[in-house]
Amino acid sequence: MRHPTVSASTANAPAVNAPAVNTPVANTPAANTAADILATLLPHRRTLEAAPPEHATTPAHFPYQLHQLERLVAARRPIVLTLPGFPCKSPNPAKVIGRLPDEGERLALHFLDGLCARIGARYAPGARLVICSDGHVFSDLIGVPDPHVDAYNDALRAMIRTAGLSHLSTFDLRDVYGDLPCDAKREQVLRRYAPSLDALRAETRGPAAHDGETLRLYRGITRFLFEDTTGFEGTRSALQRACRRRAYGVIQRSRAWGALIAEHHPDAVRLSIHPQPRGAAKFGIRLLDAPDAWMTPWHACVLRQADGGVRLLRAADAAQAGRLVHRGGRPSHYAEEVGRPVPKPVPVPKPVPVPVPGQSMAKTVSHAGQVGQAAQVGQAAQVGQAAQVGQAAQVGQAAQVGQAAQVAPSATRR
């Protein structure tokens, strides 16, 4: 569960993307090497853009990362990449098959280590990646006990160590605040790094907020919290209101976590497990094949297909297509069984939006271009309703992961 986080360099301000322009690459050895390194990342870029022709996206479309890399290469320094993510497993049993890292995390870690090795083959000082696990930053807001986060993080570190993934390391609140109680650690982060809730609310209101980054995160996190909340004793509308309040807390802590990462890793190139546009200060990285652009190993499980391929699916969907496989005595993934249909992704519809704070639902629907759905206001307001297991056909699957701009912790939207 990865929550969205802002760029390390803009952690305490609204996210502002640089223009997605094709900036010419300087013809110097350092610039050419930087472009070569960035080209290694491009095939794995996570984006919401329609798949363009290969020539349509080049290193020159990412001036922020290109200039970072050029400075590091000119100084002959190792490339350090930071990736907020790998926080803990979702508390929703329809998504995951356990509380500990499984085949999804294992494959993702091997991919990231291999990516660093490929950069090292092009650039002698090499590259390493720091996984910034943010489970403790958000655990009280997402309903995951802190001991479960510790168990997940410990198992993740053991997985890295046992597999000999020498290009990877981890970083979490324990590395900053030691053995302080988790509540005290969160309080320290908020006090030092977080923007005010009033400032965040202001970013989601008014004409300037329409389709802005903060409003997008607010809507997506609200849906995520609604979908992953378990054991709530109250009405659906009460849960929706509670999730909206908690969404602001998640964004606030994301900003704080981003600022803390920037302070501890000031020269790192910032990756994200969420889709990012060209020209953004963060580079979205895709870990595994999934039906949508937002799904992560900690919000899903692996289905190993009969043809040798690997896909991330919700556990409830993977169970329909295969048999459960155990590794080391605990659930690992599903293996596809011939003759059992693999759930297919549904064409992405326009999402039914979460109402903007202080704005009527009908107006929000109109702003989002949902003409013809105004009569479904009551249904659309049930945030996350479409993402309930077995209700894939409701509201055009508006709340499916990624199809409703859903973000998950580690991000965030790690």
Average pLDDT value over all residues in the chain: 78
- Residue 69 · residue 268 · CB < 8 Å: no
Same domain assignment for residues 271 and 307: no
Where does the pLDDT of residue 210 fall: very low under 50, low under 70, confident under 90, or very high at 90 and above?
low
Is pLDDT above 70 for 222?
Answer: yes
Q: Name the token pair of 117.
A: 């090795």
Percent of the chain exceeding pLDDT 90 equals: 56
Same domain assignment for residues 311 and 215: no
Is pLDDT above 70 for 261?
Answer: yes
Same domain assignment for residues 186 and 123: yes
- Residue 66 · residue 108 · CB < 8 Å: no
Residue 169 gets which letter from DSSP?
A: E
Per residue in 93-150, pLDDT (tens digit) is 999 999 999 999 999 999 999 999 999 999 999 999 999 999 999 999 999 999 999 9
Q: Domain range holding 329?
A: 298-336
Is pLDDT above 80 for 37?
Answer: yes
Average pLDDT over residues 60-78: 95
Starting at the earlier edge strand, list the strands of the sheet with 269-272.
168-171, 127-132, 79-84, 269-272, 283-284
Q: Identify the H or E element spanning 179.
A: none
CATH, residue 313: 3.30.60.140
> Would you tell me how many other CB atoms lie within 10 Å of the CB of residue 326?
11
**365 falls within a domain:** no
**Closest to 20 measured CA to CA, from 281, 200, 261:** 281
Q: Which pLDDT belongs to residue 344?
A: 60
Average pLDDT over residues 53-81: 90
**1 falls within a domain:** no
More confident residue, 383 or 74: 74
Per residue in 229-252, pLDDT (tens digit) is 887 888 989 999 999 999 999 999
Is pLDDT above 60 for 399?
Answer: no
**238 falls within a domain:** yes
Segment among 170-174, 237-241, 366-370 with least mean pLDDT: 366-370
Same domain assignment for residues 209 and 190: yes
Q: Which pLDDT belongs to residue 64?
A: 93
Is pLDDT above 90 for 46?
Answer: no
Same domain assignment for residues 312 and 241: no
Please tell me the total count of domains within the chain: 2
For residues 47 and 97, what is the distance between their CA atoms, to the nearest angstrom? 27
For residues 395 and 403, what is the distance between their CA atoms, to the nearest angstrom? 12
**64 falls within a domain:** yes
**390 falls within a domain:** no
CATH, residue 277: 3.40.50
Same domain assignment for residues 199 and 325: no
Greatest Cα pair distance, the chain, in angstroms, is: 63
Same domain assignment for residues 191 and 302: no
Where does the pLDDT of residue 405 fall: very low under 50, low under 70, confident under 90, or very high at 90 and above?
very low
Same domain assignment for residues 304 and 222: no
For residues 257 and 84, what is the distance between their CA atoms, to the nearest angstrom? 9
**272 falls within a domain:** yes
**Closest to 410 measured CA to CA, from 38, 82, 40, 81:** 82
Backbone conformation region of residue 384, classed left if phi is above 0, alpha if psi is from -120 to 50, else beta: left
Same domain assignment for residues 57 and 129: yes
Where does the pLDDT of residue 256 fall: very low under 50, low under 70, confident under 90, or very high at 90 and above?
very high
**135 falls within a domain:** yes
For residues 74 and 28, what is the distance between their CA atoms, to the nearest angstrom? 10
Q: Name the token pair of 133.
A: 């696990």
Same domain assignment for residues 155 and 243: yes
Same domain assignment for residues 165 and 249: yes
Chain length of the chain: 414
Q: Which pLDDT belongs to residue 190?
A: 95
- Residue 282 · residue 78 · CB < 8 Å: no
Only one residue has tokens 């004793």, namely 233
- Is pTM beyond 0.85? Reply is no
Is pLDDT above 60 for 401?
Answer: no
More confident residue, 377 or 167: 167
Q: Which pLDDT belongs to residue 53?
A: 54
For residues 349 and 352, what is the distance between their CA atoms, to the nearest angstrom? 9
Same domain assignment for residues 132 and 41: yes
**391 falls within a domain:** no
Residue 224, burial from CB neighbour count under 10 angstroms (0-12, 13-18, 19+): buried
Where does the pLDDT of residue 372 fall: very low under 50, low under 70, confident under 90, or very high at 90 and above?
very low
